[in-house]
A and B are shown apart, each in its own frame.
Chain A
C-alpha cells in the first residue's frame, strides 16, 4: 500500500533566537500543518525551541550526492584560520600581550555590573 503512504518531512528545530535551525530527524505526515504537530510531539517534548521547520524530504538536494560540490579541505588552509598566525611571541617582543577575539567578545557582551 505504498500509494497511501504519507510523505516524509525533515525536521529542524531552533533552540533560541540566536541559534541556527538544526536538523533533528524526520517524520511522516499528510500535510505541512500535521507535520509541524507531529514534529513537536516526536522531537520537542522536553527541549524548548523557538521555531520548528518541516521540509518535504524531496525538496532537499544534498551535496553528498555529488562530492564535486564538497569543499576540498586538506590542502593548507591555515592562512584562513586564526591558528595560522602566531603573533604572541612578536607582541611579547614589544612588551604587549596578544589578544583573542574571544576576549574581545567576552568584554563586549559582559553584563554591566
Chain B
C-alpha cells in the first residue's frame, strides 16, 4: 500500500501542473497505468510497422518505396524509444526488454485494433498513413502535455516524425484520388475498409476505469469521445472533398453542438479481436514478431557474451 502522505503530496504536484520524472516517487497505480499505456503504445508502433512493411517490396515507384521504408523504420524506432520508457517504469518489477517483448508473443499485451487488419491493396498502405496515422497523431498530440515528463518529451520527437507520415500518407491518397477510375475505386474501397476500425480506434464512448484514472492523473487530457469527434471533424470533410464517401449513413454533424453522429463500430467483434488476437492478420504478424524475438535471441545473446568477454580482457 502506498504511503497516504506521499500520495497526497504527489496529487498536489499534479494539481500544480508539475511534471513527473522516472526517478520520482509515484503511487503504484500511476506507475501501473503508465506501464500499461506506454507498453501498449510501444508495441503498437512495432506491430504497426508490419502492415506497411508488406508494401515495401510492392510499392509502385522507387520514391514511394524509399518513403515507406523510412516510415517503417520510424515506427520501429518509436517502438524502441517507448519500450525504453516502459522498461524504466517496470524496474521495480524486474521486467526489461525481453519480458516486455515476450508479452506480445504470449498475448499479455494488446496492440491497436487497426494492426490486426489486412492491407490488401496499395491504397490501404496510403489510407493507413492518412487515417491511422492521422488518428494516432490526434491521440499523441494530446499526450504532449502528459503529466509524465519522459513520455511527453519522447512524444515531441515522435510527433515530429509522424508529421512526415501524415504528409506521405496524404500524398499517396491524393495521387490515387487524382488517378484513373480504377485507382479512385481502389481508394474508395480502402476507405470503406478502414473507417469502422478507426471508429473503434479511440475506444468506447464510456471510458473504462483505467482510462478515467489516467485522466485524473493527467496522463491523458481528453476523453475517447472527444478524440473521436476531433478525428471525424477533421477527416470527414477531407474525404468528401476528394469526391469520395464514408461508409456510414448515420454520419451527420449537429449544427448547434458541432458534434458528429456516427454508427457504432462492432464493439464486441473488435474487443474480442484485440483481446484474443483473433483478427484477420493477428497471428501472422505475431508470428513475424516471434521470429524476430525468439529465433534471433541467440544472436543477441552471442553479442552480449562477446562484449562481456572483450571487456574482461586486460587493457580493455
Contacts and interface: CB of A to CB of B under 8 A. Distances in A.
A86 B19 CA distance: 35
Nearest to B154: A25
Contacts of A1: 98-99
Question: How many A residues are at the interface, by size bracket?
Answer: 20 to 34
B97 A24 contact: no
Interface string A1-36: 110111010000000000000001111101100100
Contact of A6 (B81, B304, B310): B304
Contact of A45 (B74, B154, B303, B310): B74
Given A28-B84, A45-B77, A4 B300 contact: yes
Given A6-B300, A25-B157, A42 B81 contact: yes
B310 A64 contact: no
Nearest to B153: A25
A5 B81 contact: no
Contacts of A42: 77, 80-81
A5 B23 contact: no
B74 A27 contact: no
B84 A27 contact: yes
Contact of B96 (A2, A25, A26): A2
B16 to A, nearest CB: 15
B256 interface: no
B2 interface: no
A43 B76 CA distance: 11
Contacts of A26: 84
A2 B91 CA distance: 10
B21 A64 contact: yes
Per DSSP, chain A at the interface is mixed
Interface string B141-177: 0000000000001100100010000000000000000
B98 A4 contact: yes
A28 B97 contact: yes
B20 to A, nearest CB: 11
Interface in A25-64: 25-28, 30-31, 34, 41-43, 45-46, 62, 64
A65 interface: yes
B301 interface: yes
B69 to A, nearest CB: 11
Interface in B100-144: none
Interface string B271-282: 000000000000
Interface in B269-306: 300-301, 303-304, 306
Given A45-B74, A64-B23, A31 B94 contact: no
Of A24, A28, A64, which is in contact with the most chain B CB atoms at under 10 Å from its CB? A28
Contact of B303 (A5, A24, A30, A62): A30
Contacts of A64: 21, 23-24
Contacts of B77: 41-43, 45
A46 B311 CA distance: 32
A24 B157 contact: yes
A31 B310 contact: yes
B80 A27 contact: yes
A27 B79 CA distance: 11
Interface of A: 1-2, 4-6, 8, 24-28, 30-31, 34, 41-43, 45-46, 62, 64-65
| 10 A-B pairs with least C-beta separation | A31-B307, A5-B96, A30-B307, A30-B304, A30-B303, A1-B98, A42-B77, A26-B84, A2-B94, A42-B80
Given A4-B304, A31-B310, 5 more contacts: A4-B300, A4-B301, A8-B87, A25-B157, A42-B81
18 contacts: A2-B99, A4-B98, A4-B301, A6-B304, A8-B87, A24-B157, A25-B84, A27-B84, A28-B84, A28-B97, A30-B300, A30-B303, A42-B77, A43-B77, A43-B157, A45-B70, A45-B73, A64-B23
